[in-house]
Amino acid sequence: MSDAILKVENLVVTYGRVEAVRGVSFEAAPGSLVTLVGANGAGKSSIINAVSGIVRPRSGTITFEGRDISRMPAHKLVGEGLVQVPEGRQILGSLTIHENLQVGGWHTNDSAAIQDVYARFPVLAERRDLPAGALSGGEQQMLAIGRALVARPRLILLDEPSMGLAPKIVDEVFAVIEEIRSSGTTVVLIEQNARRALRAADHGYVLASGEIAHEGPAADLLADDRVVQAYLGV
Amino acid sequence: MQQLLNGLFIGAIYALFAIGFTLVFGVLDRLNLAHPAVFAVSAFVGIELVEVAGLSIWLTLPIVFVVGGILGMVIERVAFRPLKDRPDAHFAGLISSIALAGMFIALLQWRYGPDTRRFPADSFPSTTFTVFGAQVTVVQVAILVISVVLMVALTVLVARSRLGRGMRAVAENPTAARVLGINVDRVTMTTFAISSALGAVAGALFAMNVNSAQLTMGTAIELKGLAVIIVGGMGSLPGALVGGLLLGLAEVFAVQYIGSSWRDLVAFGLLFLILLVRPQGLFGARKVREV
């Protein structure tokens, strides 16, 4: 996978003296769905925040489409085609649904992209002028994903998209994620719901205490007794 | 009638000052106590432009607007941005903006001395109108028109434009705004610039209204501006407008019917009464602050 769209090498992220990520390397092939799974506090969010420019890595390099983006701020990366859907959805509740989507297109100003999102999520189109805070949790997750898609990303990073959602809604969210991947966008997915994420993914990385404990094709990880017993429950 | 109009003119200036104040206070959740210093600086700059450069008073207003915008950027850059990642950023910024305000006023004193400054004679057009039996000068009409136009323009900007959406996004959730691709630092600085530009025009108009500028004029309006923001409803632009006009009217009528020493007592007493009835302010949404 030397032609990886995203390549992370020896990434270290620290908060004060705490090392949250301790030399993690992983990569994503173009058009693939890669997942990082692991328990709470394993360093998953720190990795994704470093990739999307929200936190500065202590050391290591992050390469996106062949360019070193390790020190690039978040707002520039969105313009470069790398967008994060943050943990907890982070909907702008006082803005309308339409305004949320417009903010998602801050760099592109692409009204056709907003229409595409409405076509994919008709429930958002119906309520476009309502405050986004009026949406249910599942609808807010759709808005968060739709808002990221307005920027027409080539790489989308999803941080715990199923968190706090009912099982039926989780199914819908995963259906959308697979749709995004099949439209050619590379997906990096972070999940506590590891079994579910590995079933959807091509390639998986299992994190523990800020390091990669296992990696491989997702199907192999699901079949690996050590992984299942230690990280996926029985 | 005369008093009603006088109250509207002074109230429009209070409103313009307060609306700039509340843009940063209510929208960005930062209390910029250098705002009153911008108000004072721009009054002196306006007089200087007329006196030394010989400009017409109308031409000074766009210049003062730009000067205010630049001061706003300086305030954001010097007093707020270096402290923004501190856990006590709100208080730290408040204190450092007081310090910066002190420096602005000290510079004014060094340049102009402690005395009251006035526009040169003949600066103002002498035309007057009679409105419902009351005498109104061109300058007073201009004060009202300019203030209202600027406040409406700001309200439309915040509600409808891309920059306005960016401001509201940054106000609600700076981290989400960054993730979505907004350059939060730039939007913040632009907000400070617009806020201070409005405060500066308010200062120049105030100086024209009373034909004087004093070093302490910022301090005098500071508390009024804060009261107007709270009475109008935190961060509410229409609230600042209505609150400012109310305060202006209350002051003028208190002076007229009770006596000038009662002005502040009556005006602030009225504001207290409004808060007793509507604690969230006139236009404030009744909401609990989310942490």
The answer to whether A94 contacts B172, with C-beta atoms less than 8 Å apart, is: yes
pLDDT tens sequence across B141-166: 999 999 999 999 999 999 999 999 99
Chain mean pLDDT for chain B: 90
Report domain extents, chain B.
11-215
- Chain A's closest residue to B290, CA to CA, is A93
Q: How many CB atoms lie within 10 A of CB B241?
A: 28
pLDDT tens sequence across B219-266: 989 999 998 988 888 878 888 999 999 999 999 999 989 888 888 888
Interface test with A, best of B161, B178, B179 (most A CBs within 10 A): B179
Task: Name B152's Cβ contacts closer than 8 Å, sequence gap at least 6.
Answer: none
pLDDT at A233: 66
Q: How far apart are alpha carbons B27 and A94 in whole angstroms?
A: 12
pLDDT at B288: 38
Query: Which CATH number is A217's domain given?
Result: 3.40.50.300
**Confidence band for B287, pLDDT divided at 50, 70 and 90:** very low
The answer to whether B165 contacts A95, with C-beta atoms less than 8 Å apart, is: yes
Residue A1 lies inside a defined structural domain of this protein? no
The answer to whether A94 contacts B168, with C-beta atoms less than 8 Å apart, is: yes
B59 has pLDDT over 90: yes
The answer to whether A92 contacts B178, with C-beta atoms less than 8 Å apart, is: no
Dihedral sign of CA atoms B221, B226, B230, B236 in order: positive
A127: phi then psi, degrees, rounded to nearest 5 = -115, 25
For residues B29 and B59, the model is more confident at B59
Extract long-range pairs of B48-57: CB within 8 Å, 24+ residues apart.
B50/B119, B50/B120, B50/B123, B51/B119, B51/B120, B57/B119, B57/B123, B57/B124, B57/B139, B57/B208
A45 and B CB contact within 8 Å:
no
B212 with B23: CB under 8 angstroms? no
Tell me how many domains chain A contains: 1
pLDDT tens sequence across B19-56: 999 999 866 888 999 999 999 999 999 999 999 999 99
The tokens of A114 are what?
Answer: 């907003």
pLDDT at B132: 83
pLDDT at B244: 93
Cα of B129 vs its chain's centroid, Å: 27
Q: How far apart are alpha carbons A112 and A121 in whole angstroms?
A: 14
Number of alpha carbons in the 13 Å side-chain half-sphere of residue A177: 31
Residue A200 lies inside a defined structural domain of this protein? yes
pLDDT at B141: 92
**Among residues B196, B36, B56, which one has the least CA distance to residue B119?**
B56
- Chain B's closest residue to A80, CA to CA, is B181
pLDDT at B221: 93
Residue A155 lies inside a defined structural domain of this protein? yes
User: Which residues, numbered 183 to 222 in chain A, qualify as contacts with chain B under a Cβ-Cβ cut-off of 8 Å?
Assistant: none
A86 and B CB contact within 8 Å:
yes
pLDDT at A2: 57
The alpha-carbon gap from A167 to the nearest alpha carbon of chain B, in Å, equals 26
Q: Which residues pair with A159 in a beta bridge?
A: A190
A73: phi then psi, degrees, rounded to nearest 5 = -70, 155
The answer to whether A99 contacts B165, with C-beta atoms less than 8 Å apart, is: yes
A162 with A173: CB under 8 angstroms? yes
Q: Which residues of A touch B172 (CB under 8 A)?
A: 92-95
B65 has pLDDT over 50: yes
B290 has pLDDT over 70: no
The tokens of B203 are what?
Answer: 């200062």
pLDDT at B289: 40
pLDDT at B285: 64
Tell me the residue range of the domain where A123 lies.
Answer: 6-231
The answer to whether B181 contacts A86, with C-beta atoms less than 8 Å apart, is: no
- Chain B's closest residue to A89, CA to CA, is B176
Residue A206 lies inside a defined structural domain of this protein? yes
pLDDT at A110: 87
The answer to whether B180 contacts A106, with C-beta atoms less than 8 Å apart, is: yes
The answer to whether B165 contacts A102, with C-beta atoms less than 8 Å apart, is: yes
Q: How far apart are alpha carbons A14 and A86 in whole angstroms?
A: 20
Q: pLDDT tens digits, chain A, 234 residues: what are they?
A: 458 999 999 999 999 889 999 999 999 999 999 999 988 888 999 999 999 999 999 999 999 999 999 999 999 999 999 999 999 999 999 999 999 999 999 998 889 999 999 999 999 999 999 999 999 999 999 999 999 999 999 999 999 999 999 999 999 999 999 999 999 999 999 998 899 999 999 999 999 999 999 999 999 999 998 888 887 764
Taking residues B265-273, what's their average pLDDT?
85
pLDDT at B203: 97
